[in-house]
Structure 1
Amino acid sequence: MFADRSDAGERLADRLVEEGVDADLVLAIPRGGLPVGRVVADRLGAPLDVVVAVKLGAPGNPELALGAVAGDGSVWTNDEIVSRLGVDDAYLQEEQARAQAAASQKLREYRRGESLARLDGKRVVVVDDGLATGATALACVRQVQAAGADEVVLAVPVAAPDSTGRVRDEGARVVAVETPDSFGAVGQFYRDFRQVRDAEARSYLGERENEERGRGDRE
């Protein structure tokens, strides 16, 4: 049980150091991944930025992910869940349109509308506050790989064991503090799992924004 996301970040950072993970860049998945990612980035001595994806919610259960839309517009769907729930094409297309609009909004809020820059040769750690179905994480990992990263590590405080396998199948390394056999939802492993508001989430990027503002002033 983690006290909150900052505590989870400390314990995740400890695990990454123990496993000898180095990073040129830490990318957090907003919003919940940013408090965790801030701690990890500081410990690894790497800059913090964001990578965006929005899950496709199941009919009547939006927390269950049918897949995800990435910030670059690419779509990943979990065909097994889609088939098991009997989700029709009309619903899937409507949900994809909603998620694409939401992903574009997040890009505007967190990256001024810009997609990921080229990451050729970089070692990138992608951070979230937990891994349930893995849909958003997979979409983010694929974005980072498509941007040319040399090595991608997905780092989370807690993960469902079957989802870690899906991410590894994509060619990414997974580092998790806990992988409990009994997994219901990420929030059950936190004493404080309150929603992270956009303003709070952006505050963890203050250092990056100040650096960019300073570069702009010098130019």
Structure 2
Amino acid sequence: MTRIRAFRDRRAAGLHLGEELGRRRWHDPLVLGLARGGVVVAHAVAEVLDAPLDVAVARKIGAPGQPEFGVGAVTASGDATYDARSLRALGLHPEDLRESRDAEQAEARRRERVYLQGRAPQPRAGRDVILVDDGLATGVTARAAAHVIRADRPRSLVFATPVAALEAAAAIKAEVDDVICLLAPDELRAIGEWYADFTQTSDDEVIDLLGGGRA
């Protein structure tokens, strides 16, 4: 099978995405990268827009026995977000996932502490916030993060990604003011297919990139 290689790596994708976002006018923009891989893309976007960079943490809640199949997501605070269609297909109720939800929320809190390194998050109220990820497959983690960000009263909230499944892009529109993606294929099996280099991003890389973000 021939691999699709639309982007060299996350940074290259972020530079392309930043160029597209740069066509708009922004009010006091703040770029938030979804940890972990989304931070790499967001760092490049922030460079292009000359905007501050910060992190958003959301953890996938996997199906029982299929941890890689995300049926929901949770952030460090607030309620979990679930994909209703996936729950129906598997005959699951949110309470069936309580143990997994609690474990993932604890991990989200830990990662948030690690990434912020003792500093306060960048303020979001009254700003144009751009939430960035390296791709959108089901979109459940992005929706969970967007729900929490919306509670911080940004002036506007835009989700931006290099590649998104059409159905997932449509679903997240309920949580944000706009969705910007460079590619929206009819069939998206795996985000990694769209990158020549999709090496897993480490916690140390996230911390380094956030340290290089503008204050």
Whether TM-score is above 0.5 comes out as yes
Query: How far off its partner does 1:112 sit?
Result: 4.0
Structure with bigger RCO (C-alpha 8 Å, 6+ apart): 2
Distance across 2 between alignment mates of 1:116 and 1:142: 16
Query: How far off its partner does 1:113 sit?
Result: 6.7
What SS is found at the alignment partner of 1:195? coil
| Deviating 4+ runs (over 6 angstroms) | none
Distance across 1 between alignment mates of 2:140 and 2:120: 19
What SS is found at the alignment partner of 1:104? helix
Number of equivalences: 209
Please, what TM-score do these two structures have when normalized by structure 1? 0.88
Residue of structure 1 aligned with 2:62, choices 29, 54, 57: 57
Q: Structure 1, residues 48-105: CA drift from partner, whole Å, max 9, x if none?
A: 0001110111123222211110122321111221121123556411110111111111
Gaps of 5+ in 2: 1-5
* Residue 162 in structure 1 maps to residue 171 in structure 2: no
Whichever structure has more helix as a proportion of its residues is 1
Query: How far off its partner does 1:191 sit?
Result: 1.0
Is the contact between residue 55 and residue 115 of structure 2 (CA under 8 Å) also seen in structure 1?
A: yes
Residue of structure 1 aligned with 2:179, choices 174, 177, 202: 174
Gaps of 5+ in 1: 212-219
| 1:143-158 mapped onto 2 (5 Å cutoff) | 143-158=148-163
What SS is found at the alignment partner of 1:204? helix
Residue of structure 2 aligned with 1:35, choices 31, 40, 50: 40
2:151 partner letter: A
Is the contact between residue 131 and residue 160 of structure 1 (CA under 8 Å) also seen in structure 2?
A: yes
RMSD over aligned Cα atoms: 1.9
Residue 9 and residue 145 in structure 1: after superposition, are their counterparts in 2 closer, same or farther (change >3 A)?
same
Please, what TM-score do these two structures have when normalized by structure 2? 0.90
What SS is found at the alignment partner of 1:184? coil
